[in-house]
Structure 1
Amino acid sequence: MVAALELHLDERATRRIRVLWDLLEDLGVQTLRTPHDGRHRPHVSLVSARALDPDAVAEALQPVRVAAPLRLNFQFAGVFVGRVVFLGLAPTPDLMRHQAQVWRHLTDAGIESLPLYDPGEWVPHCTVSMRVPRPILTEALRRCLEVLPIEATVTRAAVVDYARDIYRELP
Structure 2
Amino acid sequence: NEGATTRGAELELLWYPPAVEGLSLQGGVTYADAQYNDFAATGTPDVDRLSGATMSLAPEWYASGAVSYRAPISANLEWLAHLDGRWVSEQNTGSDLDPEKIQEGYTVLNGRLGIGAQDESWALELWGRNLTDEDYIQVGFDGPFQPGSFNAFLGQPRTWGVTLRARR
What TM-score do you get using the length of structure 2 for normalisation?
0.24
Which one has a larger percent strand, Structure 1 or Structure 2? 2
Q: Which has the higher contact order (CA 8 A, sep 6+)?
A: 1
Considering only CA atoms, is the larger Rg found in Structure 1 or Structure 2? 2
What TM-score do you get using the length of structure 1 for normalisation?
0.24
